[in-house]
Amino acid sequence: MTVPQLADLFAELPFDEVQELLELLNAQVGERVRNILSEREAEADDIMSQDYVAMPKEARVAEVLMSLRHSGREPRSISYVYVVNGDSKTLIGVVDLRELVIAPDEEVLDNIMVSPVVTAEKDTSRGNLVEMFTKYHYRMIPVVDIEDHILGVICYNDIMKGIVLRAKP
């Protein structure tokens, strides 16, 4: 389960049970869940997932598609392929999976990527993330550090589901 999914589940449980379950999680995940459940507004760093696809700009469409087919990834983690500059994980572009599927096999990602990429920083608040998703209608938004290294992604469902649940009377 993702951290936001755990927080949503824990939000439905009695306080004592939540505390016991939090002790079973590793320290980093537990802290992220606590931050989401606490009164302070969660930030991108608390909500982001490490389940994303990043490929070098030189990768060819055929090899990317083959890699995706054999990756065993959940379908929700492959809406986009994030294009990075070499081993540095510096985010330089993004390719929508639909564009990837219709591109010629020999095309390189560098030629079909969209750049610049709309990104969030790790301290972007949940409220600002909601605004970004509302404005851009993306399925995922990458989280980057100050040097544009990709740290993770925020999924639309993880942000917007929480807003809908909190809006219920």
Residues of the chain short of pLDDT 50, as ranges, are 164-169
pLDDT at 167: 39
* C-alpha 12: how far from chain center: 24
User: Two tokens at 51?
Assistant: 């389940």
List of residues 6+ apart from 107 with CB closer than 8 A:
60, 61
Q: How does pLDDT run across 66-103, given as a tens digit for each residue?
A: 999 999 888 877 899 999 997 778 999 999 999 999 99
pLDDT at 41: 67
- The whole-chain average pLDDT of the chain stands at 87
CB 35 within 8 A of CB 43: yes
Identify the residue whose tokens are 């560098």.
110
Query: Closest by alpha carbon to 165, among 138, 135, 126?
Result: 126
Q: Where do the structural domains in the chain lie, given as residue ranges?
A: 3-40, 53-160
- CATH ID of 53-160, from 3.40.190.10, 3.90.470.20, 3.40.630.30, 3.10.580.10: 3.10.580.10
The one-character DSSP state at 14 is -
